[in-house]
Amino acid sequence: MSDAAIRRIVIVGGGSAGWMTAAPLGQVFGTQPGGPPNPVGCEIVLVESPDIGTVGVGEATLPSIRHYNDTLGLDNAEFMRKTQATFKLGIEFNDWGHLGNRFFHGFGGFGPAIVNRSSVAHWLRLSRAGGMRSYEEWSVATQMARRNRFAMPDAGPPSAANAYSYAFHFDAGLYAAYLRDYAMARGVKREEGTIVDVSVRPGDGFVTAVTLADGRRIEGDLFIDCSGFRALLIDGVCQVGYHDWTHWLPCDSAQAVPCARVEPLTPYTMSTARSAGWQWRIPLQHRTGNGHVYCSGYTSDEEAGRVLMQHVDGAALGEPRQLRFKTGMRHKIWDRNVVSIGLASGFLEPLESTSLSLVIHGVSALVELFPNRACERHLVQEYNRRMARQYESIRDFIILHYKQTRRDDSDFWRYCAHMSIPETLAHQMAIFRRNGRVAILDRDSFGEDSWLSLFLGLGLTPEGLDPLLAQVDDALLRQHFQRLHVAIAQTVEGMPDHAAYLAHLGADLGADLGVQRGR
């Protein structure tokens, strides 16, 4: 190891972000006790305070969590059991575009591309002439969710049996504990204590050590700030500043409460718009997570709590927990030798379950751009560029939910309908409104099918169409869609019930998750 190499990484903070950071770093840079030496190894220390709770408002994820688990080599059945996980095919939205509106953002596409154009683009053309079912009829994930069905995607050539993706709902606290065991088995050391002082190097301001309340001093070369909203290092020491996005995303409060499990056990998250925000419902194996995200400028905490409890569909397992937040992002997510990951780097409300995905991308980019002790400027700049682009793209995707509304039944929704929006989002909406095309500004966040689900679900209809769609014969195209519809319906009908599928996993935890359909 060269003299310039990182010798010790210090992670400040535990919870989901801390242990999701520690696990892959332990896999790459750690050394298992009694194992062979790691040629790129370094010491990894996580400092966790018993006095500071974790936020844990989100227990729903995006498909990126599967790739994260697979990269770590986690056993899927064990993971499902230890975290009380269920499967997630997407999100059902209720009352968003207008009262009575219902649409689904499913994971996966709407069928194969046709002459290099999306299937939905051709559907838009045919639907103008009439006689076409809803575009959601060609989303396998949506049809599975509507019927509470689940099965693992089949291996093999593209078909209705694998034209979808999935993620998980799980208990975030149990997941953090699961990854803690994984990381510590790979040499990550856990130090319990409250940080009371941070030492910096004269001249360049690099952090050199943190001091705990009992006097212990923990030195390091690279510090990762996973301290949540406190942002102990990136804000408290580096003082990088914050991009405040509350004028675009005005919700600033949430209340969360679990309730007893309710049947049926749905394989999707539910998001229902309320008069001053929205409410989530996340089904786990052992309970259901509920929360109300709202803007304190348009409703009181008391009223928000009343609305939450009125719409909880099981016996509440406690009192609502109050949370405050400010949507936005740090001006620099990496500054000097401090990298912020999780809530310390920024916060985008949990509307599309992006928090843990941003942690995953943050850790992945750090491993890819891993520095030496000098933390070279070009690596830091590239990391910040990637993460800023992703934050801004996700920000725009979430703003679209609020902006594209026809609701005028409350001051909150009237504000959202008339508020200004970022130029990037205005550009994407204008392109789709003009001729149904989708502009993707960040390939690492939401893709074309997700944007189409939101545009169409919220009622944004193109004025014109891509002229190249006319090269496909209408009659042949309708036959294609009909065959596809039949294949999807037959495939979904042959899948087991979501709860039955989970019960099978619980009865046979040693089996691979690819159990036979209908078994």
Determine if residue 73 is left, alpha or beta; phi over 0 gives left, psi from -120 to 50 gives alpha, anything else beta: left
Residues constituting the chain: 519
453-495 tens-digit pLDDT: 999 999 999 999 999 999 999 999 999 999 999 999 999 999 9
Residues 405-453: pLDDT tens digits? 999 999 999 999 999 999 999 999 999 999 999 999 999 999 999 999 9
The CA-based dihedral angle spanning residues 39, 42, 46, 47, taken in that order and rounded to the nearest 10 degrees: 170
- CB contact at 8 A, 252 and 244: no
Q: Which fold has domain 8-80+171-246+327-391?
A: FAD/NAD(P)-binding domain (3.50.50)
What is the C-alpha end-to-end distance of the chain, expressed in Å? 53
Residues 448 and 88: their CA atoms lie apart, in Å, by: 19
The confidence score (pLDDT) of residue 55 equals: 52
- Helix spans in 3-47 (H): 15-29
What's the mean per-residue pLDDT of the chain? 94
d(Cα 333, Cα 225) in Å, to the nearest integer?
A: 10
- CA–CA gap between residue 370 and residue 226 (Å, rounded): 17
CATH 3.50.50.60 residue ranges in the chain? 8-80+171-246+327-391
Pick from 444, 492, 401: nearest CA to 141:
492
Give CA–CA dist 497/359, Å, rounded.
32
Whole-number Å distance between alpha carbons of 69 and 434: 40
Region of residue 108 (phi > 0: left; psi between -120 and 50: alpha; otherwise: beta): left
User: Beta strand 334-335 with 253-260: parallel, antiparallel or unpaired?
Assistant: unpaired
Dihedral over Cα of 404, 406, 407, 411: its sign: positive
**């093999």: which residue's tokens?**
156
Query: What's the pLDDT score for residue 170?
Result: 96
Beta bridge pairs of residue 87? 168
Give the pLDDT score at 443.
Answer: 92
What distance in Å separates the CA atoms of residue 24 and residue 361, rounded to the nearest whole number? 12
517 has a pLDDT exceeding 50: no
Asked whether the predicted pLDDT for residue 68 surpasses 50, the reply is yes
Average pLDDT for residues 346-361, to the nearest whole number? 96
Helix, strand, coil distribution of the chain in percent, nearest 5: 35, 20, 45
What the block records as the tokens of 228 is 């949540």
Helix axes 119-129, 474-493, angle to 10 degrees: 110
> What burial class does residue 382 get, using C-beta atoms within 10 Å of its C-beta: 0-12 exposed, 13-18 middle, 19+ buried?
middle
Q: Residue 172 half-sphere exposure, CB side, CA atoms within 13 Å?
A: 21
Residue 107's pLDDT band (cuts 50, 70, 90)? very high
pLDDT score of 3 = 72
Query: Quick check: 364 pLDDT over 50?
Result: yes
Q: Taking residues 164-180, what's their average pLDDT?
A: 96
Name the residue with tokens 């995905």: 357
pLDDT of residue 37: 85
How far apart are alpha carbons 112 and 157 in whole angstroms? 12
DSSP code for 99: T
Over residues 342-353, mean pLDDT: 96
Residue 32: what pLDDT? 77
Helices (H), 169-230: 172-184
- Secondary structure letter of residue 154 according to DSSP: P
Q: What is the pLDDT of residue 51?
A: 73
Exposed/middle/buried for residue 375 (C-beta within 10 Å: 0-12, 13-18, 19+): buried
**Could you tell me the pLDDT band of residue 2, with boundaries at 50, 70 and 90?**
low
CB 274 within 8 A of CB 312: no
Q: What is the DSSP secondary structure assignment for residue 195, as one 8-state letter?
A: E
Please tell me the predicted confidence (pLDDT) of residue 1: 52
Residue range 254-294, pLDDT digits in tens:
999 999 999 999 999 999 999 999 999 999 999 999 999 99
pLDDT digits (tens, 9 = 90+) for 139-169: 999 999 999 999 999 998 999 999 999 999 9
- pTM comes to 0.95
